[in-house]
Amino acid sequence: MTEPDVSPVVEGVRQFVRREIAPHVARFEAQDEFPQQVVDAMAGLGLFGMVIPEEHGGLDLPLEDYVAIMEELGAGWSAMPSFLNSHCTVARLIATYGTAEQKARYLPQLADGSRRAAIVLTEPSTGSDLKQVRAQAVPQPDGGFVLSGQKIFITNGQRARLHMVLARAPAADGKGPISLFIVESEAPGVEVSRLIDKMGFKHVDTAELRFDKVRLGPEALLGGEAGKGLPQVLSMLETGRLAMAGTAVGMARNALAVALQYSKDRETFGQPICNHQAVQIHLANMATQLVASRAMIGEALRHKARYGRADMLASMAKLFVTEATMQITQDAMRVLGGYGYVAEFPIERLYREAPIYVLTEGSNEIQRIVIAREMIKADGPERLGLV
């Protein structure tokens, strides 16, 4: 398979993954412990600061490189982008909306990975519909807040030392303004109430968090302005979705490479199974889906570079690529036969991991709603990239 030309920084990550990660993935997966050495190596490469401006110690990479790095990491060991994606979203939120003090205090620590971050939005009673969040930040006479509430499914929730929490002010009708708050994990009242067991990504912690009357200073309010939480979060989704699509392409690339090699090595009825047309159909479908996936991401990136935003195309890319990746991992399993189902080969793991991308960063049902809404509200189809 040919690989597209990439920038030196992406090439550096690709070589790092090939040399230091890919050969050891089976061992990492078998170990029942947090892969701190991998996280340290990513920090050493500056990856925790990918989206942070250089003046605050980051690499400030262009979006194309960020997405391409997610692909390389996803192709090497899909757990790695999971450590990074929500961290980078928080970093981007602070870099975009933070006050000068918030940037100076947090961005250098986020950039060198000494403080990892979690994005804390979902609650037991609401995920897609974030307008319904119930966590409360009660304003105090000194300008600070007292934060209480429960959050669920938080990636990095246990190990993160900075939580970006969505909460609302109290109001008689329960619909007080929603804001984002920067909460340090050391603050009294921040508690990991439960770790959640899940189908894949065993090494990435997913936690339920409880905030029990956590006292926050006025400086905890992102950007210093109340009521901006939802637009701030929503503005990050476009890049988050492209990063997720990049990760999914990496996983699909891995699945196809394993299936293709296996089909050449495995013989039935006196010949390699890649000579059987039924297997060739699987391989052809997988490769076509993979190339189409990359093209979708490229289209969204080009449109964004030209017009500044590409919400519809980013949603299309996330929708198409993540569904394709689910299909590709399933097709790979068929090519490997029984070996696709056992842990000796990576396919059973990729098959378990792929669905998460369909469900999160806006489920794929929500992506379809975004796509239709963007089309309906647009002035002209050329602004959407449809003509």
Ligand X SMILES: Cc1cc2nc3c(=O)[nH]c(=O)nc-3n(C[C@H](O)[C@H](O)[C@H](O)COP(=O)(O)OP(=O)(O)OC[C@H]3O[C@@H](n4cnc5c(N)ncnc54)[C@H](O)[C@@H]3O)c2cc1C
Catalytic sites, residue numbers? 361
In the numeric block, which tokens belong to residue 208? Answer: 């339920």
The window from 235-243, 255-263, 297-305, 362-370 that contacts ligand X (CB under 6 A) reads 362-370
| First-last CA distance in the chain | 30
- Residue 86 within binding range of ligand X, rule CB under 6 A: yes
- Residue 322 within binding range of ligand X, rule CB under 6 A: no
Alpha helices in the chain (DSSP H): 8-16, 25-30, 36-44, 63-76, 79-97, 100-111, 229-265, 277-307, 311-336, 347-353, 355-359, 364-377, 381-384
163, β-bridge pairs: 118, 183
Give min distance, CB of 319 to ligand X, in A.
Answer: 11
- Residue 89 within binding range of ligand X, rule CB under 6 A: no
The window from 64-72, 99-107, 150-158, 282-290 that contacts ligand X (CB under 6 A) reads 150-158
- Residue in 31, 37, 114, 128 binding ligand X, rule: CB under 6 A: 128
Contacts with ligand X, 166-205, as mask; x by CB under 6 A: --------------------------------x-------
Helix, strand, coil in percent for the chain, rounding step 5: 60, 15, 30
- Residue in 48, 97, 153, 320 binding ligand X, rule: CB under 6 A: 153
Give min distance, CB of 229 to ligand X, in A.
Answer: 12
Give min distance, CB of 282 to ligand X, in A.
Answer: 28
- Residue 127 within binding range of ligand X, rule CB under 6 A: yes
Which residue carries 């892969």 as its tokens?
Answer: 35
Answer for the pair 14, 246: CB distance below 8 angstroms, yes or no: no
- Residue 164 within binding range of ligand X, rule CB under 6 A: no
What is the number of H-type helices and E-type strands within the chain? 13, 9
Question: What would you report as the CA-atom Rg of the chain, rounded to the nearest whole angstrom?
Answer: 22
Give min distance, CB of 87 to ligand X, in A.
Answer: 10
Residues 250 and 21: their CA atoms lie apart, in Å, by 14
- Residue 235 within binding range of ligand X, rule CB under 6 A: no
Q: Is the dihedral of CA 332, 314, 61, 179 positive or negative?
A: negative
| Residue closer to ligand X (CB basis): 9 or 90 | 90
| Residue closer to ligand X (CB basis): 86 or 315 | 86
- Residue 366 within binding range of ligand X, rule CB under 6 A: yes
- Length of the chain as a residue count: 387
- Residue 78 within binding range of ligand X, rule CB under 6 A: no
| Residue closer to ligand X (CB basis): 154 or 328 | 154
Residues 181 and 90: their CA atoms lie apart, in Å, by 11
Give min distance, CB of 328 to ligand X, in A.
Answer: 20
Residues 205 and 83: their CA atoms lie apart, in Å, by 9
Rounded to an integer, what is the distance from CA 85 to the centroid of its chain? 4
- Residue 136 within binding range of ligand X, rule CB under 6 A: no
- Residue 206 within binding range of ligand X, rule CB under 6 A: yes
Q: Is residue 46 left, alpha or beta, with left meaning phi > 0 and alpha meaning psi from -120 to 50?
A: left
- Where does this chain bind ligand X (CB under 6 A)? 86, 118-122, 127-128, 153-155, 198, 206, 356, 359-360, 363, 365-366, 369
